[in-house]
Amino acid sequence: MPEPTTAKPLAPGMILGPDGKPCRACTAFRNWKPAIATREQARSNASATPSGAMTAIAATSTSAFLQNKRANCPPDSEELGRATWTFLHTTAAYYPEKPTPTQRANMLTLLRSLPTLYPCSHCADDFGEDIKVHPPDVSGRASLSRWLCDRHNEVNKKLGKESFDCAKTDERWKDGPADGSCD
């Protein structure tokens, strides 16, 4: 008589991790729970008028809804990505203009550790390939911020997203916009 199995079937869209288990950090939530994402989108759209402004608000509230709902869940690949980019860009924005040899070495260690430690394995592999071709520039704040912006844009391009204007890196990650809206 076969043993009863307790393993849950793999959700469609879920990627397996290197250990053979489902890897949430490798997969976007909307890809393994498309029904929930679509239902919440439809609910938001139904409560909005067709005007552009309201559609934008609807999209924002859908995203906020999903984020709130998932606030205590393990991160998916998108939440992990946003948090990691926030950490990396902010760390670069506050990196010294003239770093000491120890600061340079520590920054190199941090960046070179991502391809082996970043939990989204296919993201980590691609990032590893990218930094082989474009080694980190840890010589100073401005050059590190620029290097990181270019690396992020490589990922944006791969995912079909718009390129970020690297002239706006300090505004986005350190100073805030000139109109004072973040002050």
Ligand X SMILES: Cc1cc2nc3c(=O)[nH]c(=O)nc-3n(C[C@H](O)[C@H](O)[C@H](O)COP(=O)(O)OP(=O)(O)OC[C@H]3O[C@@H](n4cnc5c(N)ncnc54)[C@H](O)[C@@H]3O)c2cc1C
If one asks whether residue 169 binds ligand X (CB under 6 A), the answer comes out as yes
3-state class of 130 per DSSP? Answer: helix
Least distance (Å) between residue 87 CB and ligand X: 9
Interface stretch with ligand X, choices 38-46, 49-57, 92-100, 150-158 (CB under 6 A): 150-158
User: What span, in angstroms and rounded, lies between the C-alpha atoms of 180 and 183?
Assistant: 5
Interface stretch with ligand X, choices 5-13, 46-54, 81-89, 175-183 (CB under 6 A): 81-89
Least distance (Å) between residue 50 CB and ligand X: 25
Instruction: Using alpha carbons, select from 95, 84, 172 the residue that is nearest to residue 127.
Output: 84
Interface residue with ligand X, options 29, 32, 127, 147 (CB under 6 A): 127
Contact 44, 140 (CB under 8 A): no
Contact 144, 98 (CB under 8 A): no
Interface residue with ligand X, options 76, 81, 92, 138 (CB under 6 A): 81
Interface stretch with ligand X, choices 44-52, 104-112, 117-125, 174-182 (CB under 6 A): 117-125
Sign of CA dihedral 160, 163, 164, 166: positive
Longest distance between any two alpha carbons in the chain, whole Å: 72
Tokens of 176: 């805030």
The residues binding ligand X (CB under 6 A) are: 77-78, 81-82, 84-85, 89, 114, 118, 122-123, 126-127, 149, 152-153, 155-156, 159, 161, 164, 169, 172
